[in-house]
Structure formats: structure tokens, C-alpha cells
Amino acid sequence: MAARLAQALPAGAHRVLVLGFEELMYAPLRLAHELERTTRAEVRFSTTTRSPVLAVDDPGYAIRTRLVFPAHDDPADGPGERYAYNVAGGGFDAVVAVVDSAADTPALHAPDGLLARLAAHTPQVLLAVVPSYVPAPQDAPERPATMLPEPLRGPAFSSYAPEEVGWLLQDLSHVTLEAPTEEREEAVQSGGAHYAESLPVEYQPSEQYQELFHAALDESAARLAHAVGVVTETVLAERAPRPVLVSLARAGTPVGILMRRWAQHRHGLDLPHYAVSIVRGRGIDANALRWLAAHHDPQDVVFVDGWTGKGAITRELAQAVEEFEKLEGVTGFDPEIAVLADPGSCVRTYGTREDYLIPSACLNSTVSGLISRTVLRADLVGPDDFHGAKFYRELAGADLSVAFLDAVSARFPEVTDAACAEAKDLLSADRTPTWEGWAAVERISEEYGIHDVNLVKPGVGETTRVLLRRVPWKVLARAGAGSDLDHVRLLAEQRGVPVEEVAELPYTCVGLIHPRYTRGATGADGRAVTR
């Protein structure tokens, strides 16, 4: 934390104050000591207090100036004034305010709050938030103390910068987990294996497909930036003033990073961001939730994903959080997911409900920090382990992860006003999920004789995944769909998958997995057979 604060200090800062929060003094004092050791600045330390003292501007008097601000930690004895002494007139080039997560409330950020009071007397105010200790309820079941590992970060794990995301995963890069797509599909559909027990072989895009990706990114970067702004502004207004972003690996991770970048761009916030594993039928990684609860207030956690299809993961997360709270006695996690696109109308917090191409769906690890899908297998993941994943270092030459993020975030300035205006309108609108996507999937499943909603993948993002990772049967495309489906048509052509135009389709496209897949159902080249 001290290293990140040192980087954020203004260039040439000579005099810095680290300001603790009432009795929270030890951690701020340690931060001040480390800043003094690693920078050339003169670093002073003091703390806020609830004790009123008369300030007298006299050289022989200890308390020369006084700042007054309202309490911001919801104290048990009710609201009241708090004080910071000798800050005004101190000649500080920057003030680092250190609070715990319980005190990081809207009152802290209010126009008359501590941060605003400090900003009137120093060129730069930095906020550092340390996690509050939250004791378990007395009736919570006892659990043996387990030391969970710290998050993995780039460049040791992923091609993202270390501050962009911390992965609450274990590194399984040394384990061979990939299996041919046909073998995985047969094993999964026969009930002999779970899809999270192995990994698909990473699709290596052709030159033509890469050209489509870059064209799609050029065309949609501003639209994506707008959606990022809308969903981030909604989260900041409704969920928490300084949310802890927790992306569902891996499709949620680029979106979480973009939301974090927007918060920096628009509000100067440095939000924590982590990626965790969730597995259909197995739930979210409980050890990851334990780590989050130990380091942050669960009420600040906002789960992030890329898009919704029919809403299966939305339901999975809600059920998993409910089970976790019953088992652990830890409350406060909100299972509501924030997504970039919600074409299935499954959530309240979204950037758009249009079904269009999000270019990060076009590729696998090479647009996701070179990280694989997550893995959950009993012989690799123990009861006290995080779920696993692999870091494909060998694909570094084809990596577009940071290029994708930079292309979208470069468009933030031009869409800021429009995104903020739309977010303001959405906050007062009825955003109740209709789950129309789930109803459409049930209908399509029956109409096409599939009889399994898990084999129907609605939306551009999910259809792309079908073509990249699994054994597709056919693709349904809305009649008149335009360039958002160019990459889908190319992938379908390369894999020998028919594309069927449908007049009345609630999504731009829908991918269908072979309903009764066996080895004998493919030709010699492994391409899907038609019905």
C-alpha cells in the first residue's frame, strides 16, 4: 500500500501528512514510516479525534488550527463533530487520509465531509482504506483457522499489471488439463465429467479472424466505453461509495478492470479489484469469499461479469451466497451482479440491455490476461484451496488483453457526459429483471428438440463461446443482423456449423450445442453434423 501511495503522490512533493482515523493509528503510522523511508518527502503523522480543543494561532500554542467535520463511521452514540488539528496552514503538498472500511461511508465523501475539508488546505488528498475487523456472530459455527494465500498478480500470474486485478485462484500452470473438445463434450454430456474438471484446447485465431477482432474493436470501443461508464456510475451511486469489485473469472475480469479504470478517470478512486471462480452446479469459490470477508466489508463487494445470457450464473451466484452465509455465519454479500450487457434482462445493474458484440468475447485467454477458464477438480483443489487456473505464458506473442483495455479506456473522455447522464436516468427508471431471456431459452430448447436449457446459449457473447470452446450444432441468427455477427459467421464457416436465420428472435443470435453428442456424431474432421 505504501508503494502505491508513493506512486500517487504529486511529483516533487516535499511535505506530506499521513492522517489516521481516531484510534486507528498503528497502520497509518506504519504507512507514514514506510513513505518516509521510500520517498524524499518530509512525512508527518497525526490522527483525527472526537475531542474538542480550542485552536489559537499563536507560535507558543500547540493547537494552531482546527478542521471540523461530521462523524463518518456511524458511531454508536449518534452523529457528532470530529476534528483534525494543525492541518490547515501546515503547508502540506499532500494529505493521505487513512480510514478503515467501516468509516469509508458517503459521509466521508460528502461536500462537508473530511475529504472535502482536507482538499481546501492541500493540493492533493489521497484516501487509503484498510479492512475493518468484523467479528463473526456468536451463533456462527466454529471453523478451524486456515491461512488463505494472498491473491496472485501479474506479471507472475496474468499479463495484467499487478494493480489492475488480484486473482483469488491457485496457479495450475504446471498441470496438463487440456483435452480435445470432442472428448470433453462427450464426457460432460454423458455425465462422466464436469466441464470444470478439464480445459478446452485454446482456439488460435486465424489471421482473418484477428482482423475481424480489430475491426470490431475499432467500431465498438466508444459504445463499450459508454456502457462501462453507465454501469460504473450506477454501482457508485447505488451500491457503495468505494466498492470492492469482484469479477467472475474470466469473462468478468476485463470488465472489472475497465470499471476500475473508469472510477479512476471520473472520480480519482483507486478501487480494489479481484477475480474469483464460479462454476455452474458447484457454486462460487467459498474460500475466495472467506478471503474477501476477512479483508473487506462484505457489504462493499460488488460482483461483476461481462454479460448475461439466460441468467444461469446469476441464479447460481444467488444460491451460492445464500448457502455460504448459512454455513459460515457471514452476512452482507449482495449476489446482485453488475454486467456490461444484460440482453437477457436478468439483473438491475448494467451498462446496456442491447445484445451486441463485446470484442473480449471473440477470444479466449489472449484477451483475458492469458488466464484459462477456472478449474475445480478434487485431486487438484483441496478444501482449503482456491479454485485453479492456468497462465498461458507461451501465448504472450498473441496477447491482446491490454490492447483491448487501452482501446476502450481511451474513449472514456468523449463519452463521459453522455454516460453519466444515462446512468442518472437509469437510477430513477424501473430496472426490474423480466427474465425474458430465460423464457426464450426454454421455448427454443423445446422447439428444437434439445430439452436441456444448458445446451442453449443465447446472445452474441455466449454464441461465440459455443463456437470457440464446445461442439456446436447450429447457430440461430436474427434476420437482418449486421456486422456484430461477422465473427460468428466466420467461426461457423470454419467449423462447418450451419447458421439459420430466424425472424422472431429476442437475441441477435443463439448458439445450440449438439443435443445428443457422441463420438459417432462427428465426421472424421470432428466437425458437427447437421440434424
Q: Which domain holds residue 467?
A: 436-521
Q: Which of 68, 102, 130 is the last residue of a domain?
A: 130
> Higher-confidence residue: 506 or 122?
122
Residue 72 has pLDDT above 50, yes or no: yes
| Phi and psi torsions of 35, nearest 5° | -65, -40
pLDDT band with cut points at 50, 70 and 90 for residue 469: low
Give residue 134's pLDDT band: very low, low, confident or very high (50, 70, 90).
Answer: low
527 in a structural domain: no
pLDDT at 530: 37
Residues 6 or more apart in contact with residue 132 via CB below 8 angstroms = 100, 101, 102, 103, 297
pLDDT band at 408 (very low <50, low <70, confident <90, very high): very high
Nearest to 436 by CA among 316, 309, 314, 303: 309
3-state secondary structure 386-424: CCEECECHHHHHHCCHHHHHHHHHCCHHHHHHHHHHHHH
The CATH code of the domain that includes 465 is 3.30.1330.30
Closest to 100 measured CA to CA, from 27, 36, 30, 32? 27
Question: What is the value of pTM for the model shown?
Answer: 0.69
Domain match, 420 and 444 both: no
Asked if 301 and 368 sit in the same domain, the reply is yes
pLDDT at 192 over 60: no
Residues 241 and 209 in one domain: yes
Three cell numbers at 19?
A: 492522517
User: Which secondary-structure segment (H or E) carries 161?
Assistant: none
Which one-letter amino acid corresponds to residue 309? G
| Nearest residue to 488 via CA among 506, 517, 508, 470 | 508
Each residue's pLDDT tens digit, 335-370: 999 999 998 888 999 999 988 777 777 778 888 999
Q: How far is CA 266 from CA 230, 260, 357, 428, 505, in A?
A: 12, 10, 25, 21, 37
The dihedral region occupied by 212, where left means phi > 0, alpha psi between -120 and 50, and beta the remainder, is alpha
Given 130, 156, 184, the domain boundary residue is 130
Q: Say whether both 468 and 501 belong to one domain.
A: yes
457 and 358 belong to one structural domain: no
**Same domain membership, residue 420 and residue 468:** no
Taking Cα atoms as reference points, which of 479, 340, 365 lies closest to residue 419?
Answer: 340
What average pLDDT does range 449-473 have in this prediction? Answer: 81
Instruction: Answer yes or no: do 123 and 65 share one domain.
Output: yes
Q: In angstroms, rounded to a whole number, what is the distance separating the alpha carbons of residues 15 and 234?
A: 37
Q: What angle do CA 459, 460, 465 make, to 5 degrees?
A: 100
Torsion sign (Cα): 279, 142, 152, 402: positive
Q: Would 146 be classed as within a structural domain?
A: no
- 188 and 224 within one domain: yes
Structural domain includes residue 295: yes
Question: What's the DSSP call for residue 526?
Answer: -
528 pLDDT tier (thresholds 50, 70, 90): very low
Q: Note the pLDDT of residue 515.
A: 64
In terms of Cβ atoms closer than 10 Å to its own Cβ (0-12, 13-18, 19+), residue 273 is buried
- Residue 521's pLDDT is what? 31
Let me know: does 512 contact 442? Beta carbons within 8 Å.
no
Q: Which of 130, 146, 177 is the last residue of a domain?
A: 130
pLDDT tens by residue, 265-295? 998 888 999 999 988 777 889 999 999 998 8
pLDDT band for position 436 (50/70/90)? confident
Q: Cα angle at 254 between 253 and 257, to 5 degrees?
A: 85
The rounded radius of gyration (Å) of the Cα atoms in the chain is 25
Is there a domain that residue 156 lies in?
A: no
- Higher pLDDT pick, 458 / 240: 458
Residue 321 forms part of a structural domain? yes
Q: Are residues 192 and 116 in the same domain?
A: no
DSSP code, position 133 = P
Is a pLDDT exceeding 50 seen at residue 525? Answer: no
Number of domains in the chain: 3
Query: Do 446 and 419 reside in the same domain of the chain?
Result: no
Per-residue buried b or exposed e for 194-215, using 16+ beta carbons within 10 Å of the residue's own CB: ebbbbbbebbebeeebbebbee
Contact 7, 270 (CB under 8 A): no
> Would residue 529 count as lying in a domain?
no
Q: In this structure, are 399 and 440 located in the same domain?
A: no
CB 184 within 8 A of CB 170: no
Q: What is the pLDDT of residues 243-260, one digit of tens each?
A: 999 999 888 999 999 999
The answer to whether residue 141 sits within a structural domain is no
pLDDT in the model for residue 187: 56
Give a yes or no: residue 149 inside a domain: no
Mean pLDDT in residue range 43-65 = 94
417 and 460 inside one domain = no
